Amino acid sequence: MLSPDGSKLAVAIENNGLTDIWIIDLAHHTKTRITFGPQYSGAPVWWPDGETIVFNYGPSGTMDSLYRQNADGTGTKEKLLETPGILVTPFSVSPDGRYIAYVRLDPKSKTNQDMAIESVTTSRATR
């Protein structure tokens, strides 16, 4: 996923059986690892400010949480959403940064897969 200004790329890279989020600076040809396990991190999406990334996190195959992390690797990750047993994959953040759109993969749901929008400030999902 390209950063809003097009200068960086956020990717999930697997190494030794574990996937983490890396930021690749396209102009300088450098990469910075911003997550360090101990569980899988994937599906990085840029925050509109270009300074943070939202991604899914959890055990292999059940990444049931969404977190936000500084794109430069500083600070600690912040939990935005947890849905035990339901895989969540972010795909967009609203331009004002108030909402995250994501896909829910719920094995108990009749549809199995739903799109949802989460308010970052209220933590209530709308389907």
Report pLDDT digits (tens) over 82-94: 999 889 999 999 9
Interior CA angle at 44 toward 39 and 46, to 5°? 140
Structure tokens at 92: 């967009």
Domain 8-126 coded CATH 2.120.10.30: yes
Q: Is residue 44 over pLDDT 70?
A: yes
**Average pLDDT in the 40-63 region?**
92
Chain segment 10-32, per-residue pLDDT in tens: 999 998 888 999 999 999 999 99
Give CA–CA dist 25/117, Å, rounded.
30
pTM tops 0.75, yes or no = yes
User: Around Cβ 50, how many Cβ atoms within 10 Å?
Assistant: 14
Chain segment 59-112, per-residue pLDDT in tens: 877 789 999 999 999 999 999 999 998 899 999 999 999 999 999 998 888 887
The number of residues making up the chain comes to: 127
pLDDT value for 120: 87
pLDDT value for 62: 79
Alpha carbon 120 to its chain's center: 13
**DSSP class per residue in 47-99:** -TTSSEEEEEEESTT---EEEEEETTS-S--EEEEE-TT-EEEEEEE-TTSSE
Q: What's the mean pLDDT when you consider all of the chain?
A: 90
pLDDT value for 85: 87
Give CA–CA dist 83/74, Å, rounded.
26
